[in-house]
Structure formats: structure tokens, C-alpha cells
């Protein structure tokens, strides 16, 4: 395993919605394509796993299976194992947040993965900053899309 093909990501999303509502939306990975444009496909495999296809700004798709390892609404934690073009894990931690606009949610996303797709492994060292930027842009777009989704009237959601 080469360290340049391993990535650790961390993203914080501050959202103006109750933690229980944010958790409920994040818990439904199969529905991500409805609100997160970079999640191109999500197909349920069984009650715990979904096949995902993700593409951000740069022209390559990541295909993987996400299998739920932990779903704990009381603690606000969702965790999944990732297998496919990338291998590793991802975790959401959803907590209440107080801010100038009142109460809301802070959703922390953490991911640790190793690139498995041969082309991406070959390019891992020279384009590592591009991969990191691509992920950051995807997460920013996801945060904005989730905020809009949560702000939409219930009948539009």
C-alpha cells in the first residue's frame, strides 16, 4: 500500500435545520442523487448496502459499494464501509449547533480511503492535489445542495 494512494478527508457542514432532520436525510444514502448532484447513482443492494456512482468536477467516476456499519440516531453517528474503486470507510457525525441565526446542525464528514482503481492509483502521486480539490468541490456542492433541500417546502422535497 502506497501512502500517496491513501486519503483522509474531513468536512464540516453547518446547516440551518434540526439535527434529527439532517440525520434522517443523511441516513438515506439511496436518496442522495435527489439532492446531491455529484452522487450520480445510488442503487440499493439490500437493507444495508448501496451501489454508488460519484462524479465531481473532473471527468472520472468513482464506483463503490457502501455498506452500513453503524446507524445510531441517539449519538448522531452514521458509518459505512466503502468497497470498489476506493476502499475504506466514511462517517457522518451530526450534532446540534448554536449560532447567530439560532439553532441548527453541525454535520462532520470524515473519510479514510485507499484508491484501488488502477488508473487512479497510477495518477495518485502527480495529481494528488487535483484529487483533493475535486473532493473539496464535491463536498462544498453537497453542503449547498443539502441546505437547499432542507429549506425546500415539504411538498417540494
Give the domain range for residue 72: 3-152
Strands (DSSP E) contained in the chain are: 6-15, 39-44, 49-54, 62-72, 77-84, 86-99, 102-115
Chain segment 33-77, per-residue pLDDT in tens: 999 999 999 999 998 999 999 998 878 899 999 999 999 999 999
**What per-residue confidence (pLDDT) applies to 57?**
84
Cβ neighbours of residue 50 closer than 8 Å, sequence gap 6 or more: 29, 30, 42, 43, 44, 65, 66
Eight-state DSSP code of residue 52 = E
Report how many domains make up the chain.
Answer: 1
The answer, yes or no, to whether residue 1 has pLDDT greater than 50, is no
In a domain, 16, yes or no: yes
CATH code, domain carrying 65: 3.30.530.20
Closest to 103 in 3D by CA, of 20, 12, 15, 22: 15
**What per-residue confidence (pLDDT) applies to 142?**
97
Eight-state DSSP code of residue 10 = E
Chain segment 87-127, per-residue pLDDT in tens: 999 999 999 998 666 789 999 999 999 988 776 767 666 77
In a domain, 157, yes or no: no
Amino acid at each position: 500500500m502506497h501512502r500517496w494512494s491513501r486519503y483522509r478527508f474531513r468536512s464540516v457542514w453547518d446547516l440551518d435545520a434540526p439535527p434529527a432532520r439532517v440525520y434522517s436525510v443523511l441516513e438515506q444514502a439511496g436518496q442522495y442523487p435527489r439532492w446531491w448532484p455529484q452522487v450520480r447513482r445510488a442503487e440499493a443492494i439490500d437493507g444495508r448496502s448501496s451501489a454508488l456512482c460519484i462524479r465531481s468536477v473532473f471527468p472520472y467516476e468513482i464506483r463503490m459499494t457502501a455498506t452500513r456499519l453503524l446507524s445510531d440516531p441517539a449519538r448522531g453517528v452514521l458509518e459505512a464501509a466503502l468497497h470498489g474503486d476506493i476502499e475504506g470507510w466514511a462517517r457522518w457525525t451530526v450534532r446540534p449547533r448554536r449560532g447567530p441565526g439560532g439553532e441548527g446542525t453541525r454535520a462532520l464528514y470524515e473519510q479514510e480511503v485507499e484508491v484501488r482503481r488502477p488508473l487512479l492509483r497510477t495518477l495518485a502521486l502527480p495529481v494528488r492535489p487535483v484529487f483533493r480539490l475535486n473532493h473539496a468541490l464535491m463536498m462544498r456542492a453537497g453542503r449547498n445542495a443539502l441546505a437547499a433541500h432542507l429549506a425546500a417546502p415539504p411538498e417540494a422535497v
